[in-house]
Amino acid sequence: MKVVAIANQKGGSGKTTTSVNLAAALGEKKKKILVIDMDPQASASAWLGVTCEGKGLLDVFGNEVNLYDQVHETNVLNVDIIPSNAWLTGIDKAMAGELGAEMVFKKAIAKLPKDKWDYILLDCPPSFNLLCVSAFVSASEILVPVEASAMALAGLASLVQTVERVKELLNPDIEIKHVLTCRLDTRNNISRDIIEKVKGFFGKKVFKNSIRETVRLREAPSYAKPITTYAPKSPGAEDYRAVAKEFLNRNKRKGK
């Protein structure tokens, strides 16, 4: 069971879009997926049609509630979710002064049944807070969605520094292993130029496939369906299926 944090400290980069649609594409390939929504905005939860009752993850952090009890089934093949809600906005205050607060979530994940899922995808918040640090401490690798726009590189250096700091102090195994360029506009050259810059920054960590910007992909959350079921023959669905295949091939080559 591999834990992958999907993160970028820049908002609007495609974290939730990737969390939901990569999960669905992997589910189509018979992989069992658990999405954990760690963003208080709960966008992934809403997209997958699940509402979090009570305090949810806040109770996992503060009251040591069993993480497994927070798991919900979805209508998406082979995809479960632990939803989020606005209670998480107060997590830094609630956990202030708690020794080892950054390790609580890792211990909670360690208690999940090992044979239940193939991958756990952590949909991280855009801000650098306890939730983000906890995700980096709990994961073995990070997937970074990067918007193919003029502001794409903003914050990437800060993200790399944050990961290195967590690696040094809390989780020596964490590493940025995947970078996915999203919201590609094929009508202009700017997106292509940005992709080349991202490749220059991250090298072979960048997926060969990109996610094109499409109307269907923007519409899908309103219907509480991933793009693979909302518009299964659309470019967005094709792109996420291609990324899922590339993701699995990478892990296969590593013997994982």
pLDDT of residue 255: 52
Please state the CATH superfamily assignment of the domain spanning residues 2-253 in this structure.
P-loop containing nucleotide triphosphate hydrolases (3.40.50.300)
Those residues with Cβ within 8 angstroms of residue 190's Cβ, 6 or more apart along the chain or in another chain: 148, 149, 150
The candidate with the shortest Cα–Cα distance to 25, out of 196, 255, 237, is 237
Q: What is the residue-level pLDDT of the chain in tens, covering all 256 positions?
A: 999 999 998 777 889 999 999 999 999 999 999 999 999 999 999 999 999 988 999 999 988 789 999 999 999 999 999 999 999 998 988 898 787 899 999 999 999 999 999 999 999 998 888 999 999 999 999 999 998 877 777 778 889 999 999 999 999 999 999 999 998 887 777 788 888 889 998 999 999 999 998 999 999 999 999 999 999 999 999 999 999 999 999 988 665 4
Determine what percent of the chain is predicted with pLDDT higher than 90.
73
Name the strand (E) or helix (H) holding 80: strand 79-82
CA-closest candidate to residue 19, choices 36, 32, 3? 36
Largest CA distance in the chain: 51
Q: Which pLDDT score, from 0 to 100, does residue 78 have?
A: 98
Q: What is the pLDDT of residue 254?
A: 61
| Structure tokens given for 9 | 């400290």
Q: What is the pLDDT of residue 253?
A: 67
Distance CA 125, CA 234 (A): 28
How far, in Å, CA of 7 to CA of 126, rounded?
Answer: 7
- Rounded CA gap, 147 and 9, in Å? 12
Residues in the chain: 256
**With contact defined as beta carbons under 8 Å apart, do 67 and 84 qualify?**
no
